Amino acid sequence: MSVKAIVANVLRDELVTIGTRSLTVPELEKIADHMFERITNLELELAAPDFGAAGRNRD
């Protein structure tokens, strides 16, 4: 099982817990993909200042 499928299953279980039952598996996987993209972008944004600081410290 792929990580995307695992995240989609966890998301489905969480949504069922709060009473939402209308999303399909492809919709859940699309949401999981979007979550991974957002996390990746956030990681890049957070790493960018460190990367710039490391370059300045070497000089």
Predicted confidence (pLDDT) per residue in 1-58, tens digit = 788 888 888 888 888 899 887 888 888 888 888 888 988 998 888 888 766 665 555 5
6 belongs to a structural domain: no
Q: How many domains, the chain?
A: 1
In a domain, 35, yes or no: yes
In a domain, 16, yes or no: no
Inside any domain, residue 1: no
Residue 57's pLDDT is 59
Evaluate whether residue 43 is within a structural domain. Answer: yes
- Is 11 contained in some domain? no
User: Cβ(11)–Cβ(28) under 8 Å?
Assistant: yes
Q: What pTM, to 2 d.p., does this model score?
A: 0.61
Distance from C-alpha of 27 to C-alpha of 23, rounded to nearest angstrom: 6
Has residue 59 got a pLDDT over 80? no
What confidence score (pLDDT) does residue 2 get?
82
Enclosing domain of residue 32? 22-47
Domain annotation covers residue 29: yes
